Every structure is written in structure tokens, then in C-alpha cells.
Amino acid sequence: MERTWSFPVLELRRRTEARGNYTNPFQILVLCNAGDTTTSRDVDRVTVAYDSQHRPFWTDTQALANLALACLSSRPNLVTDERILKDMLLELKRRQFRNGTVANVSPRRAVLSNKSLLNVSSNHCRIAPETEAEALKKALDVNEETIAVQYSVWIGETKELVRTWRLKMRQNNSIYDVIETVARLNNRQKVE
């Protein structure tokens, strides 16, 4: 059975194909996690993105390339060279400090522990998407066990303009669920 995804996934695939040789590995990671059909060309794109980022301050892009290649290698329709994935991971581990951090920690910590920060496959790319009203009702229905989440957005290094929301969310929601909920509650917050 062929899957038909919502417009954002189809649009992301179209943009990825239009970019030519270089593609941000984050795009391939999102497409792979969304269950989009992946090809050996996607593997080549991720490898090219990794190989083109050899300066220490580009380690974030290399970490995303590693996550994308790990996702692609889990696909049954693709044959990937596991040595490439291992070499990429070893390169990142060489940059790791004794305390476990790697300079700027954000996405690299997830790569080194073999986890993904963004899991769009869980419930964001349904074949039959629910209406916005149904999704908002579901997000705000907190009869189950909940956790308090504080979500902040600011502009500039000095945080001159700060917006903060406190929400009660179901446990096991992703950060993407929180961002989408805030966007539904406040029409000035857009999610793209």
C-alpha cells in the first residue's frame, strides 16, 4: 500500500529534490523519520553533507548527517555501508571531551547516545490527518497523567523580547507537540 502524506512532507521532498547536490542532512532525517520513500541518492546526499563539513564548528551538521544515515540504514529497501556510519560516529567521538560534551552540545549528545531529538514518525504524519479543532481538543484533554511544560521563545542574544507559555501536556509528548500546541493557542506563533 502506497502512503500518501500531508502537504508538508511532500513539499519537503520536492524541495530536497530541487536542491541539487547539497542537501541539509536535517531534511533527509525528517523525511526518513516520516516514513517517506528513501533512495540511494538520499544516502549520497547525507554522505556529501557530512564530508563537506570538516571544521570543528560544523560538528552539528555532521551529527545530523550521522543521525540521518543511521535512520536510512534502518530502511529495508536501502543497502548502506555500515563502515561509513561507524567511521562518522568515531569522528564525532574523537571530538568528545572527558565530561561527555562536544563543544556545543545540542544535537551531538543525541547522536553519541544513538537517540534522535526529533521523532516525527510517532504521530505527526498521519495518512488521514485530524482537523485542527480535533487536534487542539486532543492536546488540551489532560485527563491522563500530565507534566508541566514551560516553552519560551526570545529574540536576540540579550533576550529583549521573551514570550513564555506554561502548559499541562500528556507525558511522552515530543517538543514538536508542545510547539504545535502553542501555535494553536496563539495565532502569532507559526510552525513551518
Of 55, 53, 44, 51, residue with least CA distance to 21: 44
Of 32, 68, 41, residue with least CA distance to 53: 68
State yes or no: pLDDT of 138 exceeds 50: yes
Its pTM surpasses 0.85: no
**Residue 65 near residue 50, CB atoms below 8 Å:** yes
**Cα(187)–Cα(41) distance, rounded to whole angstroms?**
38
**Residue 33 near residue 71, CB atoms below 8 Å:** yes
pLDDT band (50, 70, 90) for residue 115: very low
Q: Which residues contact 122 (CB under 8 A, 6 or more apart)?
A: 174
Mean pLDDT over residues 167-188, rounded?
75
**Cα(150)–Cα(123) distance, rounded to whole angstroms?**
22
What is the DSSP code (8-state) at residue 124?
S
Q: Which three cell numbers stand for residue 144?
A: 491522563
Please give the pLDDT value at position 130: 60
